[in-house]
Amino acid sequence: MKQVSVVVSVMFAGFIPILASCDSNKPDKPEIPAAQTKAIEAVPRVAEAVPGTETALLAAAGSPGQADNDEAVSQYQEGKMELAIEGFQKAVKADPKSAEARYNLGLSFNKMGKHDEATEAFNQATALSPTNPAIKDSAILKKHTS
């Protein structure tokens, strides 16, 4: 029995250097070279989906209305449509060319049953970004604009 505990002790002692060599200061994600960062920023950002709803879009990086839009996305996800609409309207005022904020306004108006306002916002979003698949392929947008 003593031999077994010696063997177990030796095995355990062998793991200590392995555990000690783990660097807990390493970042969880690998560094992205600067050249690739620009390409990543060009990809449309999408907030996490709420089950059973269309996904509100985060603003383009660097948009003057980014903070207002992205805060309003949180309100939208929490079902606080009036606050979301106020936030998206602030984002549109800060960045009139933000297709994402106008699209999100359309989603919010739709949720509130304000279908004329939703249609107008969706039409503006499509006009500002006709090739953005997150906008042009939206089922709710198509219902309002077809």
Which of 21-30, 74-83, 128-137 shows the lowest per-residue confidence on average (mean pLDDT)?
21-30
Architecture of the domain defined by 52-145: Alpha Horseshoe (1.25)
Q: If you count DSSP H runs as helices and E runs as strands, how many of each does the chain have, helices first?
A: 8, 0
Q: What's the alpha-carbon Rg for the chain, to the nearest Å? A: 24
Q: Give the helix/strand (H/E) hosting 81.
A: helix 81-94
* pLDDT(18) > 90: no
Show me where the domains of the chain are located: 52-145
| pLDDT of 96 higher than 80 | yes
Contact between 65 and 104 (Cβ < 8 Å) = no
